[in-house]
A and B are shown apart, each in its own frame.
Chain A
Amino acid sequence: MAMQHVLGGAGDSPTILVEGTLRSGQSVNFEGNVVVLGDINPGAQVTAGGNVIVMGVLRGMVHAGAAGDAQAVIVAFRLRPTQLRIANHISRSPDGEVCNPNQPEIARVREGIVVIEAFPPGGERQGKKQRPREELKK
């Protein structure tokens, strides 16, 4: 899959770089894409109108496509979120069960639910590519 498909029309919207780790209680709000060069810790929040890319560990809360864009994606070097939101879909990691592959992953909405796949697609873990998340009612 070519990159321009993964990130939709991301090239058209403004993007900000956040340098460093977002700690608990810190938040970033931006109408375009957000790239974090660091981690997002539990209790930190990123809300973006477009996509969110984390060049580190995503442990906190990220809302991509916050203005309603369900095509928005969340990519993280390590995806361990408290909660992910894309447009009006909300998902959280399941209670108890742990599945933490050591590779970059991408979260996006497919058929109404947030799914998580290896990134780039077609890596070693092809067999377990899709990891559906428990859906929350908003």
Chain B
Amino acid sequence: MSEVIVVTSGKGGVGKTTVTANIGCGLAMLGYKVVLIDADTGLRNLDVVLGMENRIVFDLTDVIEEKCRLRQALIKDRRIEELFLLPTAQTKDKSAVTAKDMQDVCGQLREHFDYVIIDSPAGIEQGFQSAVAGAEKAIVVTAAEVAAVRDADRVVGLLDSLAEIRDPKLIINRLRVHMVQRGDMMSLEDMHDILGLELLGVIPDDESVVVATNRGEPVVTSENSISGRAFKNIVRRMLGESVPLMNLDHREGVFNRLRKIIGLG
């Protein structure tokens, strides 16, 4: 039983690529066969985030143009067994990959992998439409910002009308707990009210994500970062386990207690 999942958001910069890389690594670390597809032709990043940029020889567009076979374009991760990347081209544009092409490629890959995860480009135009075409499930990534939630809502509607994906799961990325507590950032309840999606997980705003991303080593592979643990929980929820939401409040805890002691809380 393999699954083809698209990771999308509408708005750019909310963390689609980071989420794709971490979920993929997380699943592969548990022994599942995973292939990640970069659908952001012309603005590819997934290879960089995974530290695979210098090993790209063939890409998705070469497969489509039949310049190589599909398995020649797959790059194997050097740390995690069973994790593969299908990169796309940087020197072409979105028109190089049609919806039909994506369906064909996903159809072939799902026979060999447990999970096919597609990193969608930002926007709702051709690149997005191709990215979702081959998928049967979706993960919508949003940040706790009005604009990001608005775009996520738009994308949920499009997933239904374009690809008949009815119940996408939600990941809220880069949540700043202390800002939510101050009422300066949208809370989980606010977002749930608008989007009404099942919450797959919440990733706190964490500097170690930036460090890991720049190094090409997804944060889920590190043992002791809070965002890494959040991604591990998301992976377990994807596998059907019921994992309670992490208490993201504990770093504030000491501080809050101090404030209470001095009578500010």
Contacts and interface: CB of A to CB of B under 8 A. Distances in A.
Interface of A: 24-27, 42-45, 82-83, 90, 92-93, 95, 136, 138
Interface in B50-72: 51, 53-57
Nearest to A94: B54
A12 B205 CA distance: 58
Given A25-B42, A43-B44, A43-B91, 9 more contacts: A25-B43, A25-B90, A26-B91, A43-B90, A82-B54, A83-B54, A83-B57, A95-B78, A136-B55
A5 B82 CA distance: 47
A137 B55 CA distance: 10
21 contacts: A25-B42, A25-B43, A25-B91, A26-B91, A42-B53, A43-B44, A44-B91, A45-B90, A45-B91, A82-B53, A83-B54, A83-B55, A83-B57, A90-B57, A92-B54, A92-B55, A93-B54, A95-B51, A95-B78, A136-B57, A138-B57
Say whether chain B's binding surface is mostly helix, strand, loop, or mixed.
loop
A128 B141 CA distance: 49
Interface string B24-56: 000000000000000000111000000101111
Contacts of B78: 95
A83 B56 contact: yes
Contacts of B44: 43
Interface of B: 42-44, 51, 53-57, 78, 90-91
B59 to A, nearest CB: 11
- Which 10 residue pairs are nearest across A and B when measured between Cβ atoms? A92-B54, A27-B91, A43-B90, A82-B54, A25-B90, A83-B54, A45-B91, A25-B91, A82-B53, A25-B42
Say whether chain A's binding surface is mostly helix, strand, loop, or mixed.
loop
A43 to B, nearest CB: 4
Nearest to A25: B90
A10 B51 CA distance: 36
Nearest to A137: B57
Contacts of A27: 91
Contacts of A93: 54
Contacts of B42: 25
Contacts of A92: 54-55
A136 B78 CA distance: 13
Contacts of A45: 90-91
A45 B59 CA distance: 14
B235 to A, nearest CB: 25
Contacts of B43: 25
B107 to A, nearest CB: 26
Contacts of B54: 82-83, 92-93
Nearest to A92: B54
A92 B55 CA distance: 7
Nearest to A28: B91
A83 to B, nearest CB: 5
B41 to A, nearest CB: 10
Q: Interface centre among A24, A25, A27, A82, by most B CB within 10 Å? A: A25
A138 B91 CA distance: 20
Q: Interface centre among B53, B56, B90, by most A CB within 10 Å? A: B90
B145 to A, nearest CB: 27
A27 B51 CA distance: 22
A92 B78 CA distance: 14
Contacts of B56: 83
A36 to B, nearest CB: 15
Contacts of A26: 91
A24 B57 contact: no
Contacts of A24: 90
Contacts of B90: 24-25, 43, 45
